[in-house]
Homo-oligomer: A and B are copies of this chain.
Amino acid sequence: MRIEIVAVGTELLLGQIADTNSQWMGEHLAAAGVASHFHQAVGDNQERMVLAFRTALARSDGVIVCGGLGPTHDDITREGIAEVMNVRLRRDEGGVERIRAMFSSRGREMPDTNLRQADVPEGASIIPQTKGTAPGLICPVGHKVVYAVPGVPYEMSDMFERGILPDLQRRMTERGESAGVIASRVIRTWGMSESGLAETLAGHIDDLEAAPSGPSMAGAGTSGSATIAFLASGIEGIKVRVTVRAADQDAASSLLDDQEAAIRRILYAQAGDVVFGVDDEAIEDAVARALAINGLTLGLAESLTGGLASSRLVNVPGASRWFRGSVVSYASQVKFSVLGVPEGPVVSEEAAGAMADGARRVLGSDVGLSTTGVAGPDTQDDQPPGTVHVGLAREGHPTESFSFNVPGDRDRVRQYATIAALDLLRRRLGSPTRD
């Protein structure tokens, strides 16, 4: 069963709001094992709306239309669906009563325009409204179906779960389709390029593709299929996404566990400790885990990163247990007077080391981590934009310094430098998540 989502609203085309409804429904359709190969967005124009609905019906088995069920003159999804069904709208008297009751329960007068929300294409059934004034619609079109739900997110999600999903599952059973479950997990890496990851995992991907359905995987003996994709979105490292299809949720989780373990094993053997987390885990979460496991506190001295590393670390719940603070020593004089860096060039490995020592001493932490460098656009101390020096001071270890270059404008240099410095700390402390 292939379902296409059509979001209705000129504000979506104009970019005035993000289409989070399609994202939400895409995620929930996938989780229910329903394929969705296309999404569309269209404005509040009946001719174009009808064209979008017909396009969707031609290439999918069903359509979910989201938006355009409101009470105002530009809410014309009902009319558009009736045109596609080639039927007229009738006013549903039960619907009128529900809308009236909803207004009176809130102590408000119902404007007559709201009655339009009780209009239903002939032959359609409704998904009763419980949160807003517009009912949802289930509209048969030949052997296919068009669902319509309001664009208000919490009305949409309620009707999706209460009205659309049960109807879809009934249809899939009738078609003899065992939906199964689709689930995915993102394995997050830092320090490798997308193409480097792809080459390292190429053999594993080939194995998966050679057994595209129903392989008995790893030791678990679970059957199902898995695919792997790479996501380079943003600057938070490259993501390896594993998507599995299995009979039920337990089987899917087990497959994901197997795949995660296999990928971690291959990457660790060939590229070292590049995996820092899964799904929503950020680099600061990995640092927090490593500090907590080792019972260490952290203090920062930030010049290049200007407080960015600190602002990420404090967002980890429970940060007060291991985070002492940061000295953002933007002016050189602050490096000398507060951190005790020897007077001289401040963009150097030596300065980074002295800053890390200073952070430990001033903030009273077990570990000191520092950043200095050149954000650009100008060179500084003869060093080009993108130059990064990181210092790391730990009790019982000699203070270390590291230098490297990162690409991008001021903001990106800082962000890369922040992630790189935190990743360096994570690796030095020993990432506890590796297999």
Contact = CB atoms under 8 A, between A and B. Distances in A.
Interface of A: 10-20, 22-28, 30, 36-45, 48, 51-52, 55, 59, 70-74, 106-108, 110-111, 113-114, 131, 151-154, 182, 184, 186, 193-196, 198-199, 205, 229-234, 241, 243, 300, 302, 305-311, 313-315, 317, 319-320, 323-331, 333-334, 337-338, 362-364, 375, 377, 405, 407-408, 410-412, 414
A27 to B, nearest CB: 3
Nearest to A327: B327
B71 A106 contact: no
B325 A331 contact: yes
A15 B19 contact: no
Nearest to A328: B326
A14 B243 contact: yes
Given A17-B233, A307-B326, A309-B307, A107 B334 contact: no
Nearest to A30: B14
Kindly name the residue among A48, A232, A313, A362 whose own CB sees the greatest number of chain B CB atoms within 10 A.
A232
Contacts of A243: 14
A329 to B, nearest CB: 5
Contacts of A337: 364
24 contacts: A10-B229, A13-B39, A14-B26, A14-B30, A18-B20, A38-B48, A39-B40, A39-B41, A70-B230, A71-B195, A72-B198, A74-B230, A107-B405, A113-B195, A113-B198, A300-B328, A306-B311, A314-B375, A317-B377, A319-B330, A326-B326, A326-B328, A327-B338, A337-B364
Given A229-B74, A243-B14, A405 B106 contact: yes
